Amino acid sequence: MADDSPAVSQEAKTISLAEFLETSPPDTQLHVDRLAVRSQNSPKSVVLREDDIHLPCNSEKCDRKGELHFVHSSGSSYLEHGKWRFHFATYTCRNCQKTSKTFALAVILDAVGYSGTVLKLGETPPFGPQVPARVISLIGPDREIFLSGRRAENRGLGIGAFAYYRRLVENQKGRVIQEMAKVAEKLGAPEADLKLFEAAAEETQFSAAIDKIKAAIPSALCIDGHNPLTLLHSALSDGLHERSDEECLECAREIRLVLTDLAERMAHVLKEKLELKDAVSKLLERVASKKPSSPAEPSEK
């Protein structure tokens, strides 16, 4: 790479390397304060700072939740003043020591000092919050479409994110309705309502499907009193051509949040009913075990 900066917009603000890695999506270039330090092994050389960063760890083996300390676990990245250098920087969860995050970076130090410019080329796992497993379960075979939409949303590509989410909802509306039917059945919906769900799942028109079951959707699945399917349909009703990229990005975010909330609500209801059924079963067993047996009849003499 030549010494001139890549064709990526440079924002007029300075942050730490840890904050840059934690909060900046790929293709972001920023000037970073105190980017480098003197190498302990070679005092004449400078290396990329190796401070801990804070990231969520979603490993099942990690017994702590929320944002945790991730420690730098790859080799030292040597830098030069005025020359671009490319590095892979890997960080590993201090708690479980299983989950890792790797960043691909292009770095150039200022002519003097320890600050410089960093361009994030990419990262794995992808930038952004992890997708809840319940959402993946809800959308089923279109997992990759959802993840493509999530990546587009993370990068601020509104039209792309909206297009992916729209295709997802259109493809999987029948599956979503079937999952809602399972919840309705668990909550004791009448057979007539369950047949409406069955018919709606086969309906090709989204609006017609909503009309069939609008009175049968359990209140536990409504979001602030609103039918979640109606919310999704409203967000999808306008075409891409009527919206700016910013408007599409906001709409895409709303679609994702509604899908996520619906998945969480369905999982919560099903889990609650299962736990209640189990509790009732154990209570009845306990009562039965304490019930005194009938007195024996006197024997005949």
Give the pLDDT of residue 118: 96
The CA distance from 122 to 101, in Å, is: 11
Output the pLDDT for position 2.
45
Q: Residue 287: which pLDDT band, with cuts at 50, 70 and 90?
A: confident
Q: Could you tell me which residues come within 8 angstroms of residue 183 by beta carbon, excluding any fewer than 6 positions away?
A: 218, 220, 221, 266, 269, 270
Closest CA to 116 of 34, 52, 47: 34
Structure tokens at 104: 């691909």
For residue 11, is pLDDT > 50? no
Quickly tell me which residue has 């590095």 as its tokens: 87
pLDDT per residue as tens digits for the range 76-91 = 999 999 999 999 999 9
Q: Does residue 208 register a pLDDT over 50?
A: yes
Q: What are the tens digits of pLDDT across the range 40-97?
A: 888 789 999 999 999 988 777 777 766 789 999 999 999 999 999 999 999 999 998 8
Q: What is the pLDDT of residue 61?
A: 75
Domain ranges, ordered by start, for the chain: 10-124, 133-283
**β-strand partners of 30:** 118
| Mean pLDDT across 172-183 | 93
**What is the pLDDT at residue 67?**
76
pLDDT at 32: 95
Higher pLDDT, 245 or 61: 245
User: Could you give phi then psi for residue 226, rounded to 5 degrees?
Assistant: -105, 145
CA 46 – CA 81 distance, rounded (Å): 9
The predicted model gives 192-197 an average pLDDT of 94
pLDDT at 49: 94
Q: Kindly state the greatest CA–CA separation across the chain.
A: 114
Inform me whether the pLDDT recorded for 201 exceeds 70.
Answer: yes
* Confidence at 273, pLDDT banded by 50, 70, 90: low
CA atoms within 13 A on the CB side of 259: 32
Contact 255, 232 (CB under 8 A): yes
Provide the Cα torsion 65, 59, 258, 265; round to 10°.
-70
pLDDT number for residue 131? 75
- Long-range CB pairs of 109-112, under 8 A, 24+ apart, other chains included: 109/35, 109/36, 109/46, 109/79, 109/80, 109/81, 109/82, 109/83, 110/81, 110/82, 111/81, 111/82, 112/81
